[in-house]
């Protein structure tokens, strides 16, 4: 955590390029949030025992308390306090993120029911959206919640559609059970599902949900003031490009993953940021 810019850039995330144009205080806050989310995610993905992971997540719930009591005990906690608290970020959002990411232990998620799927998306993607909108300057609680939820769903579904083969290697399957049933797929085993001839049907149904959420988010973004909307449009543009690549080539194709070069990511972010 000594160089947050480096950590975020090294990750190759679309997030880095879409936030690059923010003023320094907001950019540092956004990179800190990203680094925190990545750190929590890495706990789940790491090779530690389930017990160790659960203990670490419990410690992080305690550290969130410490941050809001102005006495963080970890380097990440101190960075959150220094870079983020000026934006009045709600404590419950940090806890909601930890709770949602924790849904992958002790067993990885496999074909969750729709209610659980939406809860997962709200936590792992909606929470960063909720916090980001506050950093960007939005103060309308209804807009924050509605936009964070719709855009968070769209972005997370894009990740799920893009990473379905990679997730299966980790014994994960995030496609909702209802869509597998609709595609006449009875198995919940990730390695069986990704070779099922009807997988494209389930992926297409999930893509329809993402498309609706992208459209809903776009309508809400149009009501934001220009300064707040710019970084939201930038991150949306990059993820929507990934989505469009997959949509255009067909949902039966799961490999290779769609790729966007760093130059093109920055170009997309730049055009969206300035409304071009």
**Domain residue ranges of the chain, discontinuous segments joined by +:** 4-273
Q: Are 273 and 233 in contact (CB under 8 A)?
A: yes
Per-residue model confidence (pLDDT) at position 256: 94
* Average pLDDT score, the chain: 91
Contacts of 107 (CB under 8 A, 6+ apart): none
Average pLDDT over residues 62-83: 94
Per-residue model confidence (pLDDT) at position 9: 54
Q: Around Cβ 211, how many Cβ atoms within 10 Å?
A: 15
| CATH architecture entry for 4-273 | Orthogonal Bundle (1.10)
Answer positive or negative: Cα dihedral of 212, 20, 94, 165.
positive
The answer to whether residue 118 scores a pLDDT higher than 60 is yes
Per-residue model confidence (pLDDT) at position 189: 97
The answer to whether residue 8 scores a pLDDT higher than 60 is no
Average pLDDT over residues 27-41: 90
Q: Around Cβ 263, how many Cβ atoms within 10 Å?
A: 9
Quote the Cα angle for 44-156-258, to 5°.
100
The answer to whether residue 15 scores a pLDDT higher than 50 is yes
Secondary structure (3-state) at 251: coil
Residue 14 pLDDT grade (very low, low, confident, very high; cuts 50, 70, 90) = low
Residue 6 pLDDT grade (very low, low, confident, very high; cuts 50, 70, 90) = low
Per-residue model confidence (pLDDT) at position 2: 47
H-helix segments, the chain: 4-10, 14-19, 24-45, 50-68, 75-84, 91-101, 114-121, 127-136, 141-162, 164-169, 177-182, 190-193, 199-221, 226-249, 262-273
Q: Which helix (H) or strand (E) holds 156?
A: helix 141-162
The answer to whether residue 201 scores a pLDDT higher than 80 is yes
Average pLDDT over residues 247-265: 93
Taking the C-alpha atoms of residue 218 and residue 238, their distance in angstroms, rounded to an integer, is 14
- Residues of the chain above pLDDT 90, percent: 79
Per-residue model confidence (pLDDT) at position 57: 96
The answer to whether residue 275 scores a pLDDT higher than 90 is no
In Å, what is the CA distance from 179 to each residue of 134, 171, 195? 34, 18, 16
What angle, 0 to 180 degrees and rounded to 10, lies between the N-to-C axes of helices 226-249 and 199-221?
160
């Amino acid at each position: 955590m000594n160089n947050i810019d480096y950590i975020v850039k090294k990750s190759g995330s679309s997030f880095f390029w879409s936030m690059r144009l923010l003023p320094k205080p907001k950019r540092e806050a956004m990179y800190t949030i990203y680094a925190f989310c990545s750190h929590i995610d890495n706990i789940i993905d790491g090779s530690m025992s389930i017990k160790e992971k659960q203990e670490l997540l419990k410690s992080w719930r305690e550290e969130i308390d410490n941050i809001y009591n102005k006495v963080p005990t970890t380097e990440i906690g101190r960075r959150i306090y220094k870079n983020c608290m000026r934006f009045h970020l709600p404590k419950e959002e940090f806890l909601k993120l930890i709770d949602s990411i924790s849904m992958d232990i002790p067993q990885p998620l496999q074909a969750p029911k729709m209610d659980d799927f939406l809860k997962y998306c709200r936590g792992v993607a909606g929470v960063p959206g909720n916090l980001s909108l506050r950093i960007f300057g939005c103060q309308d609680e209804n807009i924050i919640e509605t936009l964070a939820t719709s855009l968070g769903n769209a972005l997370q579904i894009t990740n799920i559609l893009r990473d379905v083969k990679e997730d299966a290697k980790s014994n994960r399957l995030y496609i909702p059970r209802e869509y597998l049933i609709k595609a006449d797929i009875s198995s919940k085993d990730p390695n069986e599902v990704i070779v099922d001839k009807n997988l494209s049907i389930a992926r297409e149904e999930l893509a329809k949900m993402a498309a609706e959420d992208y459209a809903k988010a776009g309508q809400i973004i149009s009501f934001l003031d220009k300064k707040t909307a710019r970084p939201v449009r930038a991150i949306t543009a990059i993820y929507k490009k990934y989505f469009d690549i997959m949509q255009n080539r067909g949902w039966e194709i799961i490999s290779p993953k769609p790729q966007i070069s760093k130059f093109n990511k920055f170009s997309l972010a730049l055009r969206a940021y300035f409304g071009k």
